[in-house]
Structure 1
Amino acid sequence: MNNLSIFLCVVFCMISHVYGDIRIANELKFNKYLWISCFSGDDRMEPVIKKPGEHHRIYFRTNFWGTTRFMCTLRQGPNYRHSQSFTAFKQVSPSDRGTLWDWRARENGIYLKVWEDEFSQGETNMHKAFDWIY
């Protein structure tokens, strides 16, 4: 009975494993570059700089306990004085399905849409989440 319980637990963990996905797009005007730096409790990404029209994608596995968080800092060029730090991904529970957190850096702030699945379309529910800090 004990071996069966362990086997079922392992199978359940493998089946229920969830992946996270963050996309950060540079939609700034006037040829401004976007500096991006992100980290979680387990990972620290090297900072990247994206030109207007480019995006940065981060794929990762969430943890078993459903507490995965990714923090990001964005800075807009050319002098990178305007910035914002925020939680770019937050897993609510272990049963939380993998979704895309789609961030857009624009002149008047940072926008977010959380895609429920890969078939979601348009900018429905895209909303301004943060203002730039000057």
Structure 2
Amino acid sequence: MQNLSILLVCSFCILGHVSSAGIRIGNELKNKKLLWMRCYSKDDVIGPLIIPIGGHRFNYFGTNIFATTRFMCTLRQGPNYRHHQNFTAFKLYSASDDGGVWDWRAREDGIYLKIKAERGVN
């Protein structure tokens, strides 16, 4: 019976991961600059965190049934963190939108986005 309970818990975790959306923030800055990040939605706060050069941070979350899930983020470039950018890091556009993973990369010349479909993302 205990093994069945463990299997059910693991199954729910996997299903939750597959059906959820997410944000990935990657630090591709040069000269060993750290990246400070903080993201928030109506219900959740991520960070603040420091991402080292070449590092990244994944955050998966469930979307709501009203298709209003949105995350706002602030990124600050080290070492003094004077340069910063606020932006919408994730937003659903319709009830049929599953969100996918919004993959952000911070570079010297800007912040770049690639939206990946949820299926096949590791």
Q: Which TM-score band applies after superposition, normalised by the shorter structure?
A: 0.7 to 0.9
Q: Alpha-carbon deviations, 1:7-52, whole Å to 9, x = none?
A: xxxxxxxxxxx52110000000000000000000111122000110
Larger relative helix fraction: 2
Q: Root-mean-square deviation (CA), in Å?
A: 1.6
* Rounded Cα–Cα distance in structure 1 between residues aligned with 2:63 and 2:71: 10
* Rounded Cα–Cα distance in structure 2 between residues aligned with 1:81 and 1:106: 15
Matching residue's letter, 1:104: R
Structure 1 position 32 matched with structure 2 position 33: yes
Partner of 2:84: 83
Larger gyration radius, structure 1 or structure 2: 1
Provide structure 2 residue ranges, at least 5 long, that are not aligned to the other structure.
Answer: 1-18
Question: Given the two structures, how large is their TM-score scaled by the length of structure 1?
Answer: 0.73
Matched residue count: 104
Matching residue's letter, 1:78: P
Which aligned pairs between 1:94-133 and structure 2 lie closer than 5 A? 94-119=95-120
Partner of 1:50: 51
Q: What's the % identity of the aligned pairs?
A: 58
Question: Given the two structures, how large is their TM-score scaled by the length of structure 2?
Answer: 0.80
Q: Alpha-carbon deviations, 1:75-114, whole Å to 9, x = none?
A: 0000001100000000111211240100000000000001
Ranked by relative contact order (alpha carbons within 8 Å, sequence separation 6 or more), the top structure is 2
